[in-house]
Amino acid sequence: MSQTILIIAEHRNGEVRQVTFEAITAAQIVDASSINVVAIGHKLETVVETLSNYELDTIFTIDDQSLSHYIPEAYAHALGEVLEECQPTGIICGHTAIGRDLAPMLAATLDAGLISDATSIECVEEHIVITRPIYAGKAFEKKIFHQSPWVLTIRPNNVSASTLKGNVAQVKNISFKKPPSLQSTIIDIVQKTTGKIDLAEAKIVIAGGRGVKSAEGFKPLEQLADVLNGAVGASRGACDANYCDYSLQIGQTGKVVTPDLYIACGISGAIQHVAGMSQSRIIVAINKDPDAPIFSIADYGIVGDLFEIVPLLTEEFRKV
């Protein structure tokens, strides 16, 4: 069946987020005959410029000052006209804070099926087969869509980002007609993270748990992250103890990460934590308790004091 795909672009400060390019790959995997992207926000020039380098059919833009920040009703309303024009058979969003929020609304609007948190997509005998984790990552299930339209969210960092460059066929600017009543308005955004590297998209994550013992104890982890060009994450134990901000929390009730390398420092490996990182490609655990459950999912385990081991690793990686 020929697919017309609409991808909801994600961008921040004029930069297109990697998950958007991963969604383009997903659209290529389902052998879409038409791949379209919609960018919503304000001052979208650099976003359009970046996307224009890809072989897309249409880039839809909805540019309005009132869309500078994500407001669910406003974005869903703005997308109405694009859905009319594009008539997608499939919509792909990132499994991000925005995608997780928008996807069910779009599915309800279109009376479409929704599969969320895909970690892999393949085409088997004309069916799009989606693999997604269940039971907090303890098992995987495969699902298919029986009809169109469908809506899919993909977990960042699981599908390779598209590098298929080309030229976009057309850019269509859709004017935004404000809905009669908006129930919420964003007044201000308070940026809590250092924002060096987005935790959800980082290729290397150095995560600290209660074993880090204090906010000061996160310093060696930050140094290792700097040397490896990675991001710092944390267990809820560390967040609850006030050693770091909740924006760093990884797990069932925090962020889901799938980096190439995950180094867990002083984290016991509770199931709720593992739910957010078990799909990492290589897991290294540093823990002074040889029986810590984290070792059962680690590819490499170091039994010892993180305050000795982490600085040694930093020193060695600095030499590379």
**SS3 of 220, please?**
helix
**Binding-residue pattern over the window 279 to 308 for ligand FAD, x denoting contact by CB under 6 A:** -------xxxx--x------------xxx-
Cα gap 266→121, rounded to integer Å: 34
Kindly state the smallest distance separating residue 259's Cβ from ligand FAD, in Å: 16
CA R_g for the chain: 21
Nearest-CA neighbor of 103 among 113, 67, 41, 276?
113
- Residue 193 found at the interface with ligand FAD (CB under 6 A): no
Return the residue of 99, 133, 137, 211 that touches ligand FAD, per CB under 6 A: 211
Of 66 and 247, CB closest to ligand FAD: 247
281 annotated to bind ligand: no
Note whether 227 and 253 are within 8 A (CB): no
Given 41, 254, 259, 301, the residue binding ligand FAD (CB under 6 A)? 254
Let me know: does 62 contact 40? Beta carbons within 8 Å. yes
Is residue 268 annotated as involved in ligand binding? yes
Q: Which of 129/270 has CB closer to ligand FAD?
A: 270
Q: Which of 173, 253, 315, 316 binds ligand FAD (CB under 6 A)?
A: 253
CA 60 to CA 38: how far, in whole Å? 5
* 22 or 222: CB nearest ligand FAD: 222
The verdict on whether residue 270 carries a ligand-binding annotation is yes
Shortest distance in whole angstroms from residue 194 CB to ligand FAD: 20
Question: Bridge partners of 192?
Answer: none
| Interaction between residue 245 and ligand FAD (CB under 6 A) | no
Residue listed under structure tokens 């990460």: 257
Percentage helix, strand, coil for the chain under 3-state DSSP, each rounded to 5: 30, 30, 40
Nearest by Cα to 2 from 148, 120, 140, 138: 148
Question: Cβ 280 to ligand FAD, closest distance in Å?
Answer: 14
251 lies in the site for ligand FAD, by CB under 6 A: yes
Beta strand pairing status for 300-303 and 282-287? parallel
Pick from 95, 132, 155, 236: which binds ligand FAD (CB under 6 A)? 236
Is residue 256 at the binding interface for ligand FAD, with CB under 6 A as the rule?
no
Say if CB 235 and CB 249 are below 8 A apart.
yes
Q: What secondary structure letter does DSSP report for 250? A: B
The annotated binding site is made up of 210, 235-236, 249-253, 266-273, 287
Interface with ligand FAD (CB under 6 A): 209-211, 235-238, 249, 251-254, 266-268, 270, 272-273, 276, 286-289, 292, 305-307
The annotated binding site for FAD is made up of 210, 235-236, 249-253, 266-273, 287
